[in-house]
Structures are given as C-alpha cells and as structure tokens.
Amino acid sequence: MNTMKKILMIAIVLAMSTMAMAQSVGEVIDKYKSLDNAESMTLTKDMLSMMTAMAQNSKDLDAEARESMEMMKNIEQMTTLQVKEADAATATTLMSDMRKALSKGYEITTDMQEDNESVVIAIKKKKKKDNHASEVVIVAKEEKETVVVYIIGKIDMDKIGNLMNMTKD
C-alpha cells in the first residue's frame, strides 16, 4: 500500500509539472523565432495607430481597405512568425506546441487538414456572450513553411465577418 501511494504521488507530480511547462502562444512564438530559418515581426499599438492614420489620409484606399484599417485601431499588438524550409520534425513540433497552447482558453473556430497542410484559427474571448475576441491566432502549416499570426486587442468578430464577405466578391 505504501508503494502504491508513492507511485500515485509521483504520477501527480509528473502531471502537475507537465501542466506547469505548458506554453502560451507568445512563449511558443518566442521559442521558434530564434531558429535560423525563422522570421518574426511584432507591431505595437503605436505602430498600428500610425499605419492607420497614414492609411486614413491616403486617397488611394477604397472603402474596403479603410474598413480594414479602422479595425486596427483596437489592436494592441500583432505578431507574425514564419518558419521557412523547416524540416518535417520542426514543422510538426511547432504545430503540436501551438495546438497545446490553444487548448488552454481558446475556441478553435477553424481546423482544416488536407494532405500535409493544416490551418487552425482560434479566438479567445473575455466574455462568452460578447462578440469581441481578445486574441486571434491563425496557424497555417504547409509542406515547407509554417506561419503564425497572433493578434491581441479588442477584435470585433462582426467586422471581421463583414470584411471576409467583402473579400469574396
């Protein structure tokens, strides 16, 4: 019986340490952006505001583009990670790490798998009934490239839906 208690305690400690080692989306991006074949870019709220102001003053933008830029006003930060020419193990591990991170508090809205390609789109909401996401994560894995887009802010899901409808035409 004493041995059984020890085994149970070891199992509990291992399970807790595994949960403690779980990474957030930002931590996964930080882990992979140091790879030689990775490119990463983070745009802060200040830079996004500046881009929005410049775009609003441009006479070359149509209504659709202005709507897109208007949505950026509520974004706090946008980070992209692109891993090119990754070996299969790296691409698989990155996708696995992202799926683990997304399993904690995110709602998977799209999960598409076809051949060696996959796309996952996930959102995190502060309030379940609210139609605003606080985070949007898009992960696209192709044969030789994986791209992660991570957006933090107050993202109006109705406006994103409208924008997607406009791009279909």
User: For position 100, what pLDDT does the model report?
Assistant: 92
List for the chain the helix, strand, coil content (%; round to 5): 45, 35, 20
* Distance separating alpha carbons of residues 166 and 72, to the nearest angstrom: 17
User: For position 61, what pLDDT does the model report?
Assistant: 67
Q: Residue 94 in contact with residue 146, Cβ under 8 Å?
A: yes
- pLDDT tens digits for 57-96? 777 766 666 666 666 667 777 888 888 876 777 888 888 8
Burial class (CB in 10 A: 0-12, 13-18, 19+), 120: buried
Burial class (CB in 10 A: 0-12, 13-18, 19+), 122: buried
- pLDDT tens digits for 102-114? 998 899 988 998 8
Residue 166 has pLDDT above 70, yes or no: no
Residue 21 has pLDDT above 60, yes or no: no
* Distance separating alpha carbons of residues 87 and 116, to the nearest angstrom: 13
Kindly report the number of other CB atoms within 10 A of residue 107's CB atom: 12
Helix, coil or strand: residue 77? strand
pTM for the full predicted model: 0.74
Kindly report the number of other CB atoms within 10 A of residue 14's CB atom: 10
Residue 158 has pLDDT above 50, yes or no: yes
Residue 18 has pLDDT above 50, yes or no: no
The single-letter code of the amino acid at 99 is R
Residue 49 has pLDDT above 70, yes or no: yes
Per-residue pLDDT band at 97 (split at 50, 70, 90): very high
